[in-house]
Amino acid sequence: MITYNAGNYDVVVIGGGHAGCEAALASARMGCKTLLVTLSMENIALMPCNPSIGGPAKSQLVREIDALGGEMAKNIDKSHIQMRMINTGKGPAVQALRAQADKYEYYREMLKTLLSQENLDVKMAEVERIETVNKRVTGIVTRTGAKFGCKAIVITSGTYLKGRIIIGDLAFDGGPNGQFPAVKLSDSLRDLGLALGRFKTGTPPRIDRKSVDFSKMIEQPGDERPLRFSYISPRVKRPQLSCWLTHSNKRTHQIVMDNLDRSPLFTGLIKGRGPRYCPSFEDKVVRFSDKKSHQIFIEPEGRSTDEMYVQGMNTSLPEDVQLKVLRSIPGLENVRMIRTGYAIEYDYVIPSQLKPTLETKEIENLFTAGQINGTSGYEEAAGQGLIAGINAALKVKEKEPLILKRSEAYIGVMIDDLVTGDIDEPYRLLTSRAEYRLILRQDNADLRLTEIGRKIGLVNDYRWRIFCEKKEILEKEIERLKETTFTPADEEMAEFLTGKDTAPLRDRVSLWEILKRPEIKIKDLVEEGLVDDNDLDILEQLEIQSKYEGYIKKQEEQIKKFEKMENRAIPEDIDYSEVFGLSNEAVQKLNEIRPVSIGQASRISGVNPADINVLLIFLEKKRRK
């Protein structure tokens, strides 16, 4: 192939999925001339698996992306068909918003945003090669011979790398959703010296709405109140479409058991490691054989389609068995399958080869983000894409990189887990991975991160104004609530408290303290005229910050301790084999991971507290020289 010079960019993003869109938009918005290269214009922001965004940990993540000036929250606000707040009874830290998306609308909205973005060009092409000089990227070459020069590259190629689809005993090379796999890019990465691993994931069949009997299912409607992910989306309620719940039964499970000899999971055809949190249906039946039934959710894939997603039925059984399994389920007796479920194996870049900026340690200015880093989930991909895009742009502009701490954001938890740990299954964020869950709430992502977003140049004036106003009102209200006090002699207050079935005052007490009582809600105070009828977000903040003050303070104390170790930086050029007293395993792990701080070093498996002590002494001695 004869190549031609097709132009120069600051940043090239390879892949137009959830990571790629965020990376490209962030880079362009930060003023870098950016190119997004995608295999197919029809697959921008594609949701090849479940049609939903949000849920525990993920909803926090989406709001963090929003606060930093990312796109995902705004895009799902524009294109959802249902929104629900889940975990509402379990506390503010784990309460989570979840949206069902219209996959097609989600794609169209994102495409519109990309194409109208200043500084951003979108091109359809397959990238075959990354070009480097002295271990530093210089450009890319496409299959059709176009050669683009650039200063930084973000690869967000998802599950396309050497993708292989498996259905029963059928296996063929392919990307998700009937797309072509990216074969040569995988080899190009290997040539650059990156170590690749292989994971497996899967997706359930899709069925035709017209063939489903909903009368045998339980309806799952959206919430009544208008909900939104983005702090700046308008508060409007879009027309809601319901999801439906049905259950598998003994007969279903029998069909699975009878056909295990045809399941690639059990015949050994599938070798990649699958995620435990997203097992195939056949796996669930085998591992939890005492369970008589499993939940199956039937979810619309959009307003303009009759295709529905069979949540819970992720499978790689042969097509005929899939159909038999489906038809044993109440409401699906006559179901017609539109797309067959499949398992997909793909290459991923072992993420311990990355810096916390998501730049590869091996090749300067080469960043990777999303499923290529061994994660799963649209939200996880978008979060990494945003950070990779930001850091690529910062690197081009020769500015300090952005690294979020575990105590600042779920994004920080995720990236730290990726670059520090040994992941042995596709990585998904869980709230239980976060040490400071009570601080990393979805309701305060803007308070945590907007200022950071503004500093790096992703928060526009409109968002900034809204944020500043909110913050100002909030601070004033908190102060006022703390200063407004009542005594047992205040008759109106006494009457109000009696009416709410809570004990009368004994001493002078502030409104802030009164709000802490479980019986008193913020809306009661608003109704009583004690608190201004402010924006819902502000009222929510007042309530959470007052009621959970004790627990929040506990966690803030823990964070102070944690950050002492995080802030103790380790110089990049340290050679661990020269540090006397480290165990051999520690030397090897530390040389491989190259942690940026003592805190990160202490989280590496195989590095024990004694090693950390030795390392601290070494660094301190070095510092004092």
Partner 1 sequence: MLFNDDIAAIATPPGEGGIAIIRLSGSSVIEKVSRIFKPYNPEVDIKNKPGYTMTLGWILDDKGEYIDEVLVSIMRAPKSYTGEDVVEINCHGGILPARKCLEEVLNHGIRLAEPGEFTRRAFLNGRMDMSQVEAVIEIIRAKSEKSMKLALKQLKGEKKEDFNRLEDILTSINAAIEASIDFPDEVDEPDYAGLEENIKIVLDEVNKFIEAARRGEVYREGIKIVISGKPNVGKSSLLNLLLRKDKAIVTDIPGTTRDIVEDYLNINGIPVKIMDTAGIRETDDIVERIGVEKSGQAIKEADLVIFLLDVASGITEEDIRIYQGLNKEKVIVLVNKEDLAEKNISEEEIKKLFGGVRVIRGSVKEKTGLDELISAITEMVLEGKTDYDGEELIFNLRQQKALEKAREHLISVLDSLGQVPLDCTAVDVRGALEALGEITGKNIKEEIINRIFQDFCIGK
Residue 90 vs 136, nearer CB to partner 1: 90
Question: CB of residue 438 vs partner 1: minimum separation in angstroms?
Answer: 6
CB of 309 vs partner 1, minimal distance in Å: 10
Instruction: Tell me the C-alpha distance between 37 and 121, whole Å.
Output: 8
Nearer to partner 1, 89 or 571 (CB): 89
* Residues within the interface to partner 1 (CB under 8 A): 50, 56-57, 86-87, 89-94, 276-279, 284, 287-288, 291, 294-295, 297, 311-312, 314, 430-433, 435, 437-438, 518, 548, 551, 554-555, 564, 580-581, 605, 608-610, 612-614, 616-617, 620-621, 624
Q: With respect to partner 1, which residue has the nearer C-beta, 95 or 353? A: 95
392 versus 615: smaller Cβ distance to partner 1:
615
- Supply the minimum distance, in Å, between the C-beta of residue 568 and partner 1: 9
Degrees, nearest 5: CA angle 563-569-575:
140
What is the total residue count of the chain?
Answer: 625
Q: Indicate the residue among 567 and 591 with the shorter CB distance to partner 1.
A: 567
Cα distance between residue 503 and residue 452, in whole Å? 43
Provide, rounded to whole angstroms, the least separation between the CB of residue 121 and partner 1.
38
> Quick one: how far is CA 350 from the chain centroid?
18
Neighbours of 618 (CB within 10 A): 18
Q: How far is the CB of 365 from partner 1 (least distance, A)?
A: 33
Q: Which is nearer to partner 1, 198 or 603 (CB)?
A: 603
Residues forming beta bridges with residue 418, ordered by sequence position? none
H or E segment and range at residue 465 = helix 461-483
Contacts of 463 (CB under 8 A, 6+ apart): 69, 231, 232, 450, 453
Tokens of 337: 């399958």
Question: Which is nearer to partner 1, 116 or 561 (by Cβ)?
Answer: 561
- C-alpha distances (whole Å) from 160 to each of 21, 26, 105, 127, 174 are 16, 23, 23, 12, 7
> CB of 285: closest distance to partner 1 in angstroms?
10
Q: Which is nearer to partner 1, 179 or 602 (CB)?
A: 602
> 100 - beta bridge partners?
52, 82
**In angstroms, rounded to a whole number, what is the distance separating the alpha carbons of residues 107 and 75?**
9
Identity of the amino acid at 625: K
Nearer to partner 1, 148 or 548 (CB): 548
User: Is 287 in contact with 319 (CB distance < 8 Å)?
Assistant: no
Cβ of residue 292: shortest distance to partner 1, in angstroms?
11
200: helix, strand or coil: strand
Query: Which alpha helices (H) appear in 365-407, and where do they start and end?
Result: 378-396
Residue number with CB closer to partner 1 (57 or 194): 57
Q: Can you read off the two tokens belonging to residue 342?
A: 């499949």
Q: How far is the CB of 458 from partner 1 (least distance, A)?
A: 29
**DSSP letter assigned to residue 401:** P
CB of 276 to partner 1, least distance (A): 4
In angstroms, give the least distance from the CB of 90 to partner 1: 4
How is residue 182 written in tokens?
């990216």
Q: How far apart are the first and last CA of the chain?
A: 57
Q: DSSP of 543-571, one letter per residue? A: HHHHHTHHHHHHHHHHHHHHHHHHTSB--
Q: Which residues contact 342 (CB under 8 A, 6 or more apart)?
A: 165, 166, 167, 202, 203, 316
